[in-house]
Amino acid sequence: MTYAANLLRKPAIATLVVLLLMYGAGVLRYDGFDDTQVVLNIFIDNAFLLVVAVGMTFVILTGGIDLSVGAVVALTTMIAASLLEKHVNPALVLVIVLAVGAAIGLGMGCIIHFFDIQPFIATLAGMFLARGTCYVISTDSIPITNEWWNNVASDKLRFGGFHIGWSVVISAVVVAAAAYVLAYTRLGRNIYALGGNQQSALLMGLPVGRTKIAVYTISGVCSALGGVLLTFYTPSGYGLNALGMELDAIAAVVIGGTVLTGGSGFVLGTVAGVGVLGLIQTIITFQGTLSSWWTKIVIGVLLFVFIVLQRTVTRNQRTRRTT
């Protein structure tokens, strides 16, 4: 195994170790924590975040950032709720919201590439645009009463005495598709090459521009799909939905071992990162005496730890290259 391969795996392994230690501590501390349904509930409650974080993984692997994802999620819930309220066919609603997400991501990707704008600024503009559009649609919450939509949201897939929802199945399909794209397709190789060194990627003749635009489009689609899953979880559209979700998605990706400077990371690491965030929330719920703000405190500590770990691994790689 090459040193580069070790570099890719160390942060992801650290995430898995943290996840197992936290779960073990929960099992020892709380009665009923070892119930399989408790683990399944983590992914039921965070399926929408997982899909958004998968899209964020593509962006961060190129060394970029997408601050618009939470606002796009909220916009998706508003568009879906308003269209369903007007009795538009649910299948058409799904197509429309995914197209809107793709269009926003495509627009930001084009601005970043063709005008050489920093991703932070371009996606910040996208965030304001999407969040502001929510209030153009309505300043109030719009309930979703469509029978088909609510049936899909409440339907349970039961097995062995346990259950999951369609949101978990959809998020699992997204994870599998993303893992395949990154591991076995030309786009995946281009994403890693671009994140590793953009100048080298250009010299090798790789389609840097198309790759940048593609990852932001993928992030937009994942955000829109995450918004759909959020409407399954809370059947309504509201402009204040998903406030701060972009930060949760970035935290999940970084804790999952993806390096913020790009070029290194795995989708399955992002799954573990979302699992860590969900497990923190579950432990606080079982404790019963802690404020929900402790979730943010623990996530902040973990982010510091993983950023330091990433920096240490990167420095070790540079030292080996120069010796």
Q: What is the pLDDT along the chain (323 residues), one digit of tens a residue?
A: 333 444 446 677 888 888 999 999 999 999 999 999 999 999 999 999 999 999 999 999 999 999 999 999 999 999 999 999 999 999 999 999 999 999 999 999 999 999 999 999 999 999 999 999 999 999 999 999 999 999 999 999 998 889 999 999 999 999 999 999 999 999 999 999 999 899 999 999 999 999 999 999 999 999 999 999 999 999 999 999 999 999 999 999 999 989 888 988 889 999 999 999 999 999 988 988 777 778 888 888 888 888 887 777 666 655 665 55
Residue type, 57: T
Query: What confidence score (pLDDT) does residue 294 get?
Result: 82
Query: What confidence score (pLDDT) does residue 7 get?
Result: 43
Yes or no: is domain 3-322 CATH 3.30.70?
no
Give the C-alpha separation, 17 to 23, whole Å.
Answer: 10
**Tokens at 320, concatenated:** 């080996």
What radius of gyration, in Å, describes the C-alpha atoms of the chain?
Answer: 20
At 323 the three-state DSSP class reads: coil
CA angle 197, 258, 55 (to 5 degrees): 95
Give the C-alpha separation, 105 to 128, whole Å.
Answer: 14
Distance, first Cα to last Cα, the chain: 19
Query: What confidence score (pLDDT) does residue 17 get?
Result: 87
